[in-house]
Amino acid sequence: MKLSVLDQSLARSADEPDVALQESLDMARWCEALGYERFWVSEHHAFPAVAGSAPEVLLAALGAATLRIRLGSGGIMLPHYSPYKVAECFSLLANLYPGRIDLGVGRAPGADMATAVALATDGRPKFERFPELVTRLDDYLRNPAARPLVSPRPPADLPLWMLGSSPDSALLAAERGLPYNLGLFINPQAAPELVHLYRARFRPSARLGAPYAIITTSVFCADDEPRARALQLTYDLNLYRFVTDQSIGRSLTPGEALDYPLGPREQAFIASRGSNRAVGTPGQVRGQLEALAERFAADEIMAVSNMYYLEDRKRSFELLMDAFK
């Protein structure tokens, strides 16, 4: 089973984005040393505690900080942008770091709608045109006759990935013959049928001869189960406080989370996040991930481990890799 990483450059407080970005660089070097396959970064906008607003910029820094590990976008929110500009950015990255760049694209805004409007050059986000934008991007990357010419020329081995958590993304990946990444950490209720649908409808393309699916899921691995549960609770509570506008740009520490008075709303939210992820000791996490990979017919697992302390994140990925060795 191939293991990969998604990093979201989460800041502990709104005034520490520089620390969060340096920790992303540190994590990329750490995960490369451990032997992970890929290290992807996400795109979010107007979130005070999320530093990763421009994956293409961060990927350039990550490429300079590493030597082997594949680097990618998880993902570029294509409705905000010109497909030509995205093709140029990732062609440049792929020429800077040959054989190491993955271009993952998604339809979600990665922000609230007011921010999506601000990102659109004409004030009109193009969510409904996503399939067309994917077609144009693919043509710029793969067709030497496409005009205007993309410069520098995209390497032939630059893969285009479809990201999503719904049937629409699974079907679009299948129809275009693209590899597919299902975001279970975004939609923990996503059903295994999404990957099965992708595999059943897959049409081979010049890019990919057979379907290939990654599942991206939350992983909280620690030396003992109580610590893993505390790390998971901390993340769930911070996410709840963020989506309910209670965080004031600052995350709870694990100690504060354990002392937090859980009401019915918090409990219901945490319960809704409890499926399709892995929490516990290395042995427990390996068993949970193997079961998920089998149910979802996954070729690869991508772990996202949003933990308050960098050392907990590093230890989690170390234990996870050791468990699968």
User: What is the CA 277 to chain-centroid distance, rounded?
Assistant: 14
From 85, 179, 211, select the one nearest 136 (Cα to Cα): 85
Burial call 61-97: b when 16+ CB within 10 Å, e when fewer = bbbeebeebbbbbbbbbbbbbebbebbbbbbbbbeeb
Give the burial class of 188: count Cβ atoms within 10 A of its Cβ; 0-12 exposed, 13-18 middle, 19 or more buried: middle
Rounded Cα distance, 272 and 267, in Å: 9
Tens place of pLDDT per residue across the chain (325 aa) = 899 999 999 999 888 999 999 999 999 999 999 999 999 999 999 887 889 999 999 999 999 999 999 999 999 999 999 999 999 999 999 999 999 999 999 998 878 888 889 988 888 889 999 999 999 999 999 999 999 999 999 999 999 999 999 999 999 999 999 999 999 999 999 999 999 999 999 999 999 999 999 999 999 999 999 999 999 999 999 999 988 988 887 899 999 999 999 999 999 999 999 999 999 999 999 999 999 999 999 999 999 999 999 999 999 999 999 999 8
From 210, 129, 128, 198, select the one nearest 163 (Cα to Cα): 198
Residue 264: CB partners within 8 Å, gap ≥ 6?
Answer: none
Give the burial class of 11: count Cβ atoms within 10 A of its Cβ; 0-12 exposed, 13-18 middle, 19 or more buried: buried
Contact 60, 86 (CB under 8 A): no
ω into 211 cis (within 30 of 0): no
What the chain holds in terms of domains, given with CATH numbers, is: 2-223+278-324 (3.20.20.30)
Task: Express each pLDDT in 86-145 by its tens digit.
Answer: 999 999 999 999 999 999 999 988 788 888 899 888 888 899 999 999 999 999 999 999
Report CA torsion sign: 239, 244, 247, 249.
positive
Rounded Cα distance, 131 and 120, in Å: 17
pTM across the whole model: 0.96
pLDDT value at position 152?
A: 96
4 to 74, 159, 256, 299, 300: CA distances (angstroms): 12, 16, 30, 11, 8
Rounded Cα distance, 107 and 47, in Å: 18
Rounded Cα distance, 108 and 164, in Å: 8
